[in-house]
Amino acid sequence: MKLSLGLDDVDSREGSCTTYVASFIVEGILKAGCKLLDYPNLIRLNPNIPWKTRGNGAVAIRFEAEDAEGVFELAREVVDGFHEEGSDAGLVLLEGEVPAEVKEFSRMALHGVLSPKRALRLIERYGARSYSIGSGLGLIGALASIGNTLQGDYTFELLAYRRRDRWGKERLVDPKSVIEMDVATRPYTFNNYDEETGRILITPRGPDPVLFGIRGEYPEVLLDAMRMVRVMEEIDRYMIFRSNQGTNEHLRFRLDLGRLKAYSSGYVAGVVAEKPKIMRGGHVSFRLRNEDGEVNCMVYEPTGRLRWVAMALIPGDEVEVGGGVRKRTVKNPTALNVEYIKVLKLERLFKTENPRCPRCGGRMESMGRGQGYRCKKCGFRDREAKKLLREVDRGIKEGLYLPPERAHRHLTKPLRRYGLEKSGFDGKLINGWYKF
């Protein structure tokens, strides 16, 4: 029997993480003699959900087993074992093929806001088993992870975990070796470090059990990459996930400027309506208009160089922007928090200047409205001379602009990945894809 087990929100702020808990469930499933049909899927959902802990990630495990009840109990025990106050764990076990409605639920979970009630309705309709602690919020991610079978573009991540006695302590990973690993494996790994600042990105900064996570195109490359990273502490366990990270999957939905819903994600194209402004804190804002309406686009200070692209825009430029809708507050109107800018068509910009003297080449000056020009240097007068129009170099080109790696979301598609997109997965898992 084909089964899909989804879990979410089994993490807590103090430690632990959904992928880590998932590794124990996978261990139990494999020990029970079940066959995995895919790498565990690490599914990132709408990054603009305000109640997420970190990256709004959920995990789906797809496998074959005879005893669905037994597996469900096993997973429940693992989740209970890790449960800490404050998390709203959700666990869903679905038998058979994933129904179209569950796939649709998952698509919506990538760009919209859903309710646990809606998840429960589908769980009931398709006779799935479920278990939740707390508010039931975790069921949304658990079901949504099952619904995303990663049919389109996908990537992999190898997550290496630390021993429990190291949690919360400094991660002993040699930064130089990370950069060497990046050079040796590029373009097949990504977001290893921030090219602008040199900051290492494979190591998270919180107290969670993750020692490092390496993202890339193929599982084999990730195993090689792991061996290249010098660590001065033990890797307690590791596991490779198949994922929608680095695919821009949350930005495929076209936003309607006439009906922007708070916390939704997507993209929209339009014309720059006003000169961009630089605001307190170094953020840049510009107005975007199309036939549906108008919105304030916010390019925040942490998005680094993307702000300079925004500042270089002028009214009339045609752009597409991707990002998340910021909720309206008493102080601030609805806005779009920008994650990328694609310049579709640049407006030509002209500057007027006084003509040059035909006799000496010096700059001329106006003798008054309709009176012509006089050379400042040699005094030559020309009643017919006119102001000149000179095209100004805009300083930016048409094309795609992203923030630096350190400001990427898990779902952001890095420049390195363009041209490396793939689809279809043969269900084969390589040797050594985990260590428990």
Task: Please report, as ranges, the residues that interact with ligand ATP according to CB under 6 A.
Answer: 8-9, 11, 17-18, 45-46, 49, 51-57, 88, 90, 109, 112-114, 137-138, 140-141
Tokens of 27: 């261990």
At its nearest, how many Å lie between ligand ATP and the CB of residue 102?
14
At its nearest, how many Å lie between ligand ATP and the CB of residue 61?
15
Task: Please say which residue, 241 or 401, places its beta carbon nearer to ligand ATP.
Answer: 241
417: left (phi over 0), alpha (psi -120 to 50) or beta: alpha
At its nearest, how many Å lie between ligand ATP and the CB of residue 8?
5
Tokens of 352: 């007027």
DSSP assignment of 88-140 equals --EEEEEESSPPHHHHHHHHHHHHS---HHHHHHHHHHTT-EEEE-TTSTHHH
Task: Please say which residue, 121 or 277, places its beta carbon nearer to ligand ATP.
Answer: 121
At its nearest, how many Å lie between ligand ATP and the CB of residue 408?
15
Task: Please say which residue, 6 or 304, places its beta carbon nearer to ligand ATP.
Answer: 6
Task: Please say which residue, 8 or 339, places its beta carbon nearer to ligand ATP.
Answer: 8
Tokens of 188: 């097949």
At its nearest, how many Å lie between ligand ATP and the CB of residue 411?
12
Task: Please say which residue, 140 or 214, places its beta carbon nearer to ligand ATP.
Answer: 140
> Interior CA angle at 45 toward 122 and 286, to 5°?
130
Residues 6+ apart with CB under 8 A from 324: 46, 47, 48, 263, 264, 265, 336, 337, 339
Neighbours of 393 (CB within 10 A): 6
Task: Please say which residue, 158 or 272, places its beta carbon nearer to ligand ATP.
Answer: 158
Instruction: Annotate 110-133 with b (16+ C-beta within 10 A) or e (fewer).
Output: bbbbbebeebbebbeebebbbbbb
Residue showing the smallest CB distance to ligand ATP in the complex: 141
At its nearest, how many Å lie between ligand ATP and the CB of residue 46?
4
CA distances in angstroms from 413 to 69, 191, 374, 403, listed in the order given: 38, 10, 57, 11
Task: Please say which residue, 209 or 355, places its beta carbon nearer to ligand ATP.
Answer: 209
